Amino acid sequence: MELLCSETNRIQRAYKDPVFLQDSVLQQHLKLEKFCQIPANHLDQQEDIKPFMRRVVAQWMSEVCEEQQCEEEVFTLSMNFLDRVLVVTKSIARTNLQLLATACMFSASKLKETLPLTAEKLVLYTDNSITRQQLLDWEMLVLSKLKFDLSPVLAFDFLDILLDRLRLPKETQVYLRGLAVSYINILPLDEKCVVYSPSVIASACLCASIEKITNSWRAALYSRILKDLIGADMEQLVECTQRVKQQVGDKDSKYSKESSKDPPKPLHPGTPTDVLDISVN
């Protein structure tokens, strides 16, 4: 008698439910996103944290999520947690910024991952600059500051709904979605992009993706369709699209320069020295 083991390492995923593509869901997301908006000057109130420090730690978070092959929403959700905590807390020291970022990734991973990032692994990514107990304590701090509101509306919530409304061929939809996902995860690196609502970000990333595979004329046509769907200002949508293309261009040029130098790659993204080794003077 043979015993057959059907267990695999492949992550099981639920089938996409067409109910989530209905107009009622889109309208509900548009209502809720107004309560998830982060102020444009949310870093101005910080006494010890500067905008460039957020950019440095955001880049580190992006690299950790990319190396661990996290779900597509983990990084964006982590940055949402980080910015919202910075909005309601003025007394966070720069030396605790990476600890806060790690706690945000820890919480976001638990929400979105089938196999979430472990505390031990995240401590390792900080070059052991924090302890496991500190991470657990700051996880509770993050949850309390967010008042356990851990399901904000993100650009990903609009992506499939808007893509479905464009009535494109299935193969084109799949390719566009892949591009748009990568663009959505680039925008949080820039603290100035918090001024855009999730629906505008999703629409802008789709417009930039369409322009990449077709032309600017066709992208402008679809941008008007998306503008009407989300009820956004056309000027703001165009502005966000330009910022998306700028961010993508900056990242591509950065990677091309790094690849030309061909430096030895570290085993894992370490603690950014820009965050820890900052001169007060």
For position 280, what pLDDT does the model report? 42
User: Per the structure block, which two tokens stand in for 124?
Assistant: 């390792």
CATH number at residue 115: 1.10.472.10
The number of distinct structural domains making up the chain is: 2
Distances (CA, A) of 60 to 33, 187, 268, 273, 279: 27, 14, 10, 11, 20
What is the DSSP annotation of 196-222? S-HHHHHHHHHHHHHHHHS-HHHHHHH
User: pLDDT under 70 in the chain at which residues?
Assistant: 1-13, 251-281
Tell me if 217 is assigned to some domain.
yes
Together in a domain, 191 and 232? yes
Q: Using CA atoms, how far apart are residues 184 and 198, in angstroms rounded to an integer?
A: 9
Q: Using CA atoms, how far apart are residues 79 and 192, in angstroms rounded to an integer?
A: 13
Select from 100, 127, 145 the last residue of a domain: 145
Predicted TM-score (pTM) of the model is 0.85
Residue type, 182: S
User: Per the structure block, which two tokens stand in for 251?
Assistant: 């990242």
Together in a domain, 53 and 138? yes
